[in-house]
Amino acid sequence: MKYFLPLAGLILLTQCTSNSAITVDTPQTPDTPATSAAPTAQAPSTTAPTTPVPPQPPTVVDTQVALDFINAHVANQNKLGKREELRVWTKASAYVTATFKASLVEMIDAAYEANPDVGLGYDPILDAQDYPEKGFTLRTFDPESGTVTLQGIDWEDFTVTLRLVLQDSETLVDGCGRINMK
């Protein structure tokens, strides 16, 4: 008897916490409908199987492209003596449009033609000489214009604005800093 009560409690606890349903017989009165414990059969589906919808091209630009582009640019700039020249780096970039590449090259070439010793004297992508060396994070995004404003991670007051476009369903940077932002 001394083990009967604990054993009964354990069985009751096990029944209450198991995943199986516990049914309790309830008396039926004239105003309660009879319910069956047996599962009800469902009628076979008369709808045709649905055809999967092919993925649609994006209709909104991906702001991650702006971050990837500008942070790759900062990483290149941080290489100091080993960095690629800006025109070479930009021409090789998969993040920018052909228009952006051509505009940057034209701007830098014209600056070196006017002043062979200095050229522009600043970074046209960041529109500055100094920059946040730890990179950038997203500050704002306007989906209607595709304009993204980024802020420095270690210099929050430093911002740069980029314009993103969709080209063949791919998000690309078409303007940034002093390039194509008018």
CA-CA distance, 89 to 118, in Å (whole number)?
19
Three-state SS string across 110-156, please?
HHHHHCCCCCCCCECCCCECCCCCCCEEEEEEECCCCEEEEEECCCC
* Domain annotation covers residue 96: yes
Query: Residue 53: what pLDDT?
Result: 61
Find, among 150, 170, 169, the residue nearest to 160 by Cα: 150
Cα–Cα distances in Å, from 96 out to 52, 117, 160?
33, 28, 16
CA torsion sign for 96, 101, 102, 108 is positive
pLDDT of amino acid 54 = 61
* Digit-coded pLDDT (tens) for 138-160: 999 999 999 999 999 999 999 99
Q: Which two tokens stand for residue 34?
A: 């009879």
Measured at the alpha carbon of residue 176, what is the angle toward residues 172 and 179, in degrees to the nearest 5? 110
Report the number of distinct structural domains present in the chain.
Answer: 1
Q: Indicate whether 154 belongs to any domain.
A: yes
What is the band of 55 on the pLDDT scale with cuts at 50, 70, 90?
low
Q: Which residues pair with 96 in a beta bridge?
A: 173
Structural tokens at position 169: 């369903």
- Percentage, residues of the chain above pLDDT 90: 64
Give residue 147's domain range. Answer: 63-176
Is residue 116 in some structural domain?
yes
Query: What is each CA distance from 175 to 16, 36, 60, 97, in whole angstroms?
Result: 65, 69, 17, 9
Please give the model's pTM, rounded to 2 decimal places.
Answer: 0.68
Residue 22, SS3 per DSSP: coil
Q: Is residue 58 part of a domain?
A: no
Q: What is the pLDDT of residues 14-43, one digit of tens each?
A: 444 444 443 444 444 445 444 445 555 555
CATH code of the domain covering residue 86 = 3.10.450.50
